[in-house]
Amino acid sequence: MKRHFRVWRGDASGGDLTEFDVDVNEGEVVLDIIHRLQATQAPDLACRWNCKAGKCGSCSMEINGKPRLGCMTRMSTFTEDETITITPLRTFPVIRDLVTDVSFNYEKARETPAFAPPVGVAPGEYRMQQVDVERSQEFRKCIECFLCQNTCHVVRDHEENKEAFSGPRYFIRAAELDMHPLDARGDRKEYAQSSQGLGYCNITKCCTEVCPEHIKITDNAIIPMKERVVDRRYDPLVWLGRKIFRRDELEDTESMAPSGSTGVTGVAAGLPLSSSRLPEGPPVGADGHMDVAELAAPIQGGPSPFGEDVTFPLPPEEIVYTHPSTDKH
């Protein structure tokens, strides 16, 4: 049957939604329709894709206003008379049509400190308990589709925040390494707070909502990281230590500098291998609730771009795509 589509077409200088009526067969996904468009009506329509199996993370786009993978969005999820609107990821600059420049994410990946191997243990000799492996396995499922990065309101409408904010994909990387029993850096949380912009996140969970791998980004990575930062900042013993010792005497334990020189824990600090380290649970107050004082941090993100009480799909007339170049005028 024929279905009606609106596809954003343009480049860095601007563009618009173009209307198409396309044949759709049973069992097809949105990416199939884009391929049919390329084969029949718009041979120069640009779209990035690779696996068509939800595993390469290339075909990220916004479908009826919701960030999704084109290859994992079945046509059967739309009603027969529904207009399907496809726009590029909004947070990244458009190269052409549905292809955006996602290099922001690669820059943030480069800035994220890599796994720090323990001193004195050669590759191949690393030993971890299965429970430790399972803990971070969820984060390893990330396919780097950047849908979470695209959705996060801290950068979606705020270009100026990009320099200071790494985004949810790199918070899960930081959490994964923080939970890694053989990682020799002891300051992952503090680094996330001071250099990756963890404080900008106000745990709206929009990133979790769009993750095609169903990674619980906010609950399992961001909140535990925030809780532990708060725990250290408000730890009464640390507070007392600050009162008793001079700042320079505390520097070695509180430094935010790369842990090549400071903050070394675990094997590198001469402690037994990972499995004997007790898991760090989120701290709870006397009332049994987790401390959310971090939410009062001076730097906060803005409200969710989707507003409150929004349900998807959005009606076609409510879907807008503001080209970054027109934003500036």
| Binding-site ranges for ligand FES (CB under 6 A) | 49-52, 54-59, 69, 71
> CA 312, 318, 319, 325 torsion: positive or negative?
negative
Smallest distance, ligand FES to C-beta of residue 320, A: 25
| End-to-end Cα spacing for the chain | 41
- The count of residues interacting with ligand SF4 (CB under 6 A) is 29
Bridge partners of 10, per DSSP, are 15
List binders of ligand SF4 among 110-169 (CB under 6 A).
Answer: 142-148, 151-152, 154, 168-169
From the list ligand FES, ligand SF4, none, partner contacted by residue 154 (C-beta under 5 to 8 A by kind) = ligand SF4
Examine residue 224 and tell whether it contacts ligand SF4 (CB under 6 A): no
List binders of ligand SF4 among 226-285 (CB under 6 A).
Answer: none
From the list ligand SF4, ligand FES, none, partner contacted by residue 301 (C-beta under 5 to 8 A by kind) = ligand SF4
User: What distances in angstroms separate CA 32 from CA 17, 79, 201, 233, 316, one per listed residue?
Assistant: 19, 17, 36, 51, 21
User: What distances in angstroms separate CA 189 from CA 115, 193, 319, one per listed residue?
Assistant: 14, 6, 38
From the list ligand SF4, ligand FES, none, partner contacted by residue 58 (C-beta under 5 to 8 A by kind) = ligand FES
Bridge partners of 62, per DSSP, are 67, 87
Q: Which two tokens stand for residue 232?
A: 């250290």
Beta carbon nearer to ligand FES, 45 or 268: 45
Neighbours of 59 (CB within 10 A): 24
From the list ligand FES, ligand SF4, none, partner contacted by residue 52 (C-beta under 5 to 8 A by kind) = ligand FES
Peptide linkage before 313 cis (omega within 30 of 0): yes
Torsion of CA 57, 28, 64, 302, to 10 degrees: -20
**Are 149 and 200 contacting, i.e. CB atoms less than 8 angstroms apart?**
no
List binders of ligand SF4 among 18-47 (CB under 6 A).
Answer: none
From the list ligand FES, ligand SF4, none, partner contacted by residue 265 (C-beta under 5 to 8 A by kind) = none
**If we measure between CA atoms, which residue out of 170, 164, 8, 210 comes closest to residue 95?**
8
List binders of ligand SF4 among 159-218 (CB under 6 A).
Answer: 168-169, 172, 201-207, 210-213, 215, 217-218
Beta carbon nearer to ligand SF4, 254 or 291: 291
Beta carbon nearer to ligand SF4, 22 or 230: 230
Smallest distance, ligand SF4 to C-beta of residue 198, A: 9
Beta carbon nearer to ligand SF4, 148 or 267: 148
**Are 230 and 223 contacting, i.e. CB atoms less than 8 angstroms apart?**
no
Can you give the binding site for ligand SF4, defined by CB under 6 A? Answer: 142-148, 151-152, 154, 168-169, 172, 201-207, 210-213, 215, 217-218, 222, 301
